[in-house]
Amino acid sequence: MHVDRRSLLTLAAAGAAAPGLAQTSDPTEIIPLWPRRPPGALARLPQETIVDRIATSGVQDRYVTGVGAPLMTVFRPARPSGAACLIAPGGGYIRVVIDKEGFEIARRLAQAGVTSFVLRYRLPAEGWADPADAPLQDAQRAIRLIRRDAAIDPTRVAVLGCSAGGHVAASLATGHARQVYAPVDDADRCSARPDLCALLYPVIDMARPNAHSGSRTALLGPAPTPQAEAAASPHRHVTPQTPPTVLVHAADDPSVPLDNTLAYLAALRAAKVPAEAHIFEEGGHGFGIRLAQGKPAQAWPDLFLAWAARRGWSA
């Protein structure tokens, strides 16, 4: 991916106001998820396109569509603690944002010693044999590859997801044991269960009225059956094996109703899964780190890291 000088200077300026965001280049360590074509690939793979919204956002703010070759971008900290985190950015299942809910969060976690892997997962409406399972296939495979990484502690692997990426993360947390693809190598002998889960303003419920309509349509089509909605709603599949979870949401979120977080929290409590929720009065939707500055929601990274430390995950 090309990063022009203007984008770098603008991002650096933004980082001066919001610690942890400044970085002059993208990491060069990229891990493809699949050694050959992804599961369920049709004859023609989607063609990748990256768009930078710097003209409207004022900082580097990229998203990707046409994900035919899913991958992870790796952020390795200067002083690694051994903890690792798979980050699933949002994008309504029609795009995957790169910076706002991916690289910016990864840089903040790297400051805390966490090795982060930003996931570029496949988008279900772009042509796959099992479209609703394609993001989960990528998430399971990603966790297994991370666990095979000798530079991290395989007992301290978390997943963090934002918005539709929160649906990816929650689907992984509740569906880590589902066999959604045939094993391809020795990495697939590793567990796909995250040790911890963090969900930021997550898409959870696929049934109306709480569903995020764009994510629902992209994942399940324009008229899903009640059975399909239930199968794709993670709060309906929480068990005692679901990993401990922290949830973050703003009460004024105009896109994904707070009821999504509340439904998942209720399911965790019913299953006696350790959980913590932070519901902020202000923050809106899609705030990540940069857009939370100056709002109550800006506290979420510290709250998440403190919670994770109490559970023995982060330093």
- C-alpha pair distances (Å), 132 with each of 40, 48, 112, 180, 183: 11, 20, 34, 10, 19
Range of the domain at 79: 25-310
128 occurs within a structural domain: yes
What is d(CA 155, CA 81) in angstroms, rounded to the nearest whole number? Answer: 12
242 occurs within a structural domain: yes
Per-residue pLDDT of the chain (315 residues; tens, 9 = 90+): 333 333 333 333 333 334 445 445 899 999 999 999 999 999 999 999 999 999 998 999 999 999 999 999 999 999 999 999 999 999 999 999 999 999 999 999 999 999 999 999 999 999 999 999 999 999 999 999 999 987 999 999 999 999 999 999 999 999 999 999 999 999 999 999 999 999 999 999 999 999 999 999 999 999 999 999 999 999 999 999 999 999 999 999 999 999 999 999 999 999 999 999 999 999 999 999 999 999 999 999 999 999 999 999 976
What CATH number has the domain bearing residue 238? 3.40.50.1820
- What does pTM read for this prediction? 0.92
7 occurs within a structural domain: no
Structural domain total, the chain: 1
15 occurs within a structural domain: no
72 occurs within a structural domain: yes
Provide the 3-class DSSP secondary structure of residue 112. coil
- C-alpha pair distances (Å), 193 with each of 3, 139, 147, 148, 159: 35, 10, 10, 13, 9
- C-alpha pair distances (Å), 230 with each of 138, 207, 224, 227: 21, 7, 10, 5
